[in-house]
Amino acid sequence: MKNITVIGAGTMGNGIAHVFAQKDFNVHLVDISQDALDKAVATIGKNLDRMVAKERITEDDKKSTLANITTFTSIDDAITEADLIVEAATENVDLKMKIFRELDEKAPEKAILATNTSSISITQIAAQTKRADKVIGMHFMNPVPIMKLVEVIRGYNTSDEVTNRIMEMSKNLGKVPVEVNDYPGFVANRILMPMINEAIYCLYEDVAGVEEIDTVMKLGMAHPMGPLQLADFIGLDVCLSILNVLYDGFKNPKYAPCPLLVNMVMAGKKGVKSGEGFYDYSESKKAEKIAAQFAK
């Protein structure tokens, strides 16, 4: 597999495009917004500049990585030769279903269809296609160029051959793939999100303040980032969406999102990307410093 299409030029999409392009895959990056595509390529360039500065790659490596990426605003043009398509659109069930129906209709028969969903059922997504055996989850972690883990999620009908190929490809990217089965939240978010939710409850019930809660988890549990700061980094709207998937999937009240989280998202306080969450990111460089701290 050499030709990779990545759908969605947001934080996860540009990171996924980056790691494939850096390993000399031919990458087609797709988004409906040309501005989003331009921003994504600029972000990849900045991330590569940091790697050059740290002497992890050379200037020639940077140039060849960027040369491996071509941008498109049309799915039709981007998937004609695709061996693997990785969907990294917004974590919205209806949107993902629509994309996979379109991919099934237009993508080459040989193409494996992967989704970077962090919580939505692979089996449910695969049911939108006539190639359920070729649909799989590739859940990369953020920031993609730094984090080693890829959760490889098998849907009910995903074939052994496809699973093995994706596991091997993930290793070729320099990642550590872990095969998991298709249950709400998989492993990473099934464990992480209840912890974040409980931290929000601690704040909601006035057990302690934001910095105090994060300090306890950083110093007491050796976490590199406190759960409230991490929630801001992930996006509070994303956290809410994942918790709703867990709650709907298991019907267990322990997954019900804290009312404080719901209210914050409704008020537009979504974390780093909106400039305010549990912390204030209104200063222009503050969000970048938080991201850089996590990436070290």
Q: Determine whether the annotation assigns residue 64 to a binding site.
A: no
Going by C-alpha positions, the residue among 92, 233, 253, 250 that lies closest to residue 186 is 250
139 is an active site residue = yes
Residue 31 annotated as binding?
yes
Point out the catalytic residue in the list 28, 116, 121, 139.
139
Q: Which of 116, 118, 121, 274 is catalytic?
A: 118
> Do the bridges between strand 135-140 and strand 112-115 make them parallel or antiparallel, or are there none, so unpaired?
parallel
Q: Say whether 76 counts as a known binding-site residue.
A: no
| Residue 232 labeled ligand binder | no
Where are the alpha helices (H) located in 83-187, listed in sequence order?
A: 93-106, 122-126, 160-172
Query: Exposed, middle or buried by CB within 10 Å (0-12, 13-18, 19+), for 219?
Result: exposed
The answer to whether 105 is annotated as binding is no
Catalytic residue among 116, 189, 197, 241: 189
User: Is 10 known to sit in a ligand binding site?
Assistant: yes
Closest among 27, 266, 278, 1 to 144, alpha carbons compared: 27
Is 264 annotated as contributing to ligand binding? no
Has 118 been annotated as catalytic?
Answer: yes
CA dist 10 and 147 (Å) reads: 17
Say if residue 175 carries a ligand binding annotation.
no
Is position 98 annotated in a ligand binding site? no
Return all residues near 270 (Cβ < 8 A) that are at least 6 apart. Answer: 235, 236, 237, 264, 277
- Known binding residue 11? Answer is yes
Query: Out of 3, 87, 151, 241, which one is annotated catalytic?
Result: 151
Do 87 and 10 form a contact (C-beta atoms < 8 A)? no
Catalytic residues: 118, 139, 151, 189
Query: Which residues does the annotation place in the binding site?
Result: 8-13, 31, 91, 96, 118, 142, 273
Query: Which residues does the annotation place in the binding site for NAD(+)?
Result: 8-13, 31, 91, 96, 118, 142, 273
